[in-house]
């Protein structure tokens, strides 16, 4: 009977300790803004990335030759070349947590540029 009581107490303690963990222990990733828009002239915009863990980025499709990305101390700097075409162009950048983590946290940023006549 004493051993059963010890098991119950041990399980109760484990449940209490695991439930006492704060939300600060959970992985988070915030990205702002989730879309950036450029005129045909191009330019640069800042994307703020906040996380309590490692994060990285990749393009949703092939790497567009008209967009540059630099990591900054607060997130990413998106630089877009001039668009001399008449049509607009769009690319999607995925910002996600480390692949070592078990959580599936990612954000998609739309990079859009209007064409010369828009």
Whether omega before 14 lies within 30 degrees of 0, making that bond cis, reads no
Farthest CA pair distance, the chain: 83
Is 88 a domain residue? yes
Evaluate if pTM is beyond 0.75.
no
Is 1 a domain residue? no
Is 21 a domain residue? no
Is 8 a domain residue? no
* pLDDT (tens digit per residue) in 3-49: 544 433 344 444 444 444 455 557 788 999 999 999 999 999 999 99
Integer Cα distance of 83 and 38 in angstroms: 10
Is 66 a domain residue? yes
Residue 63 maps to which CATH number? 2.60.40.10
- Whether residue 36 contacts residue 47, with contact meaning beta carbons closer than 8 Å, is answered with yes
Q: How many domains does the chain have?
A: 1
């Amino acid at each position: 009977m004493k051993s059963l009581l010890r098991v119950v107490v041990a399980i109760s303690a484990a449940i209490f300790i695991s439930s006492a963990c704060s939300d600060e222990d959970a992985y988070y990733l915030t990205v702002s803004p989730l879309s950036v828009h450029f005129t045909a002239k191009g330019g640069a915009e800042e994307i703020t990335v906040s996380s309590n863990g490692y994060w990285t980025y990749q393009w949703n499709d092939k790497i567009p030759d008209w967009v540059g990305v630099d990591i900054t101390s607060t997130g990413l700097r998106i630089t877009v070349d001039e668009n001399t075409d008449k049509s607009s162009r769009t690319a999607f950048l995925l910002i996600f947590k480390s692949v070592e983590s078990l959580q599936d946290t990612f954000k998609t940023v739309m990079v859009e540029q209007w064409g010369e006549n828009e």
